[in-house]
């Protein structure tokens, strides 16, 4: 992986090293999902983990701390967590992209045109690019409400 926690968060959760951080991005998945430790910007539950879901483009409280998230990643039911986001052959597809990439799906998971992940076009793109697209769309959706 070419990015560090500091470099990944700079420009996303803070600009300058002395800035107050609303949350800290600590992990992501190949569909653009993000895992973050709340530092007050996502809710009152400081140190709780949140997941930015690529199907809703919203932050969801996970009711886990960081250490429990790590336990879940290694021992939990990831098949259940990602049940709606896996397709036939996903294991092979994931092996072929780098840790700094993700899948851009068309139509996107959050789109009204999305039917099933099996029927989406999947293209690997830089995680940075997918992050930018998802944040812009999330902001646009918030403005519509």
pLDDT, one tens digit per residue, over 20-77 is: 899 999 999 999 999 999 999 999 999 999 999 999 999 999 999 999 999 999 998 9
Q: In what order do the strands lie in the sheet with 58-61?
A: 23-28, 34-38, 49-53, 58-61
d(CA 130, CA 30): 10
The parent domain of residue 19 ranges over 5-144
Q: Count structural domains, the chain.
A: 1
Tokens of 10: 């700079």
pLDDT band at residue 19 under the 50/70/90 scheme? confident
Mean pLDDT of all residues in 1-26: 87
- CA distances 111 to 24, 33, 120, 121, 141, Å, are 27, 15, 11, 13, 11
Burial of 35 (0-12, 13-18, 19+ CB in 10 A): buried
Asked whether the beta carbons of 117 and 105 are under 8 A apart, the reply is yes
pLDDT at 143 over 90: no
For residue 7, the model assigns a pLDDT of 87
Q: What's CA 121's distance to the chain center, in Å?
A: 19
106 Cβ neighbours under 8 A, 6+ residues apart: 120, 121, 123
């Amino acid at each position: 992986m070419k990015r560090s926690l500091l470099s990944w968060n700079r420009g996303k959760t803070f600009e300058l090293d002395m800035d107050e951080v609303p949350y800290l991005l600590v992990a992501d998945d190949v569909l653009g999902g993000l895992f973050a430790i709340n530092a007050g910007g996502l809710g009152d539950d400081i140190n709780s983990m949140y997941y930015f879901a690529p199907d809703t483009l919203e932050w969801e409280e996970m009711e886990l701390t960081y250490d429990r998230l790590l336990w879940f990643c290694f021992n939990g039911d990831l098949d259940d967590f990602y049940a709606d986001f896996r397709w036939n052959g996903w294991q092979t597809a994931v092996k072929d992209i780098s840790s700094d990439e993700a899948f851009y799906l068309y139509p996107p998971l959050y789109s009204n045109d999305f039917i099933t992940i099996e029927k989406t076009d999947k293209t690997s793109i830089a995680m940075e690019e997918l992050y930018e697209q998802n944040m812009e769309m999330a902001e646009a959706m918030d403005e519509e409400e």
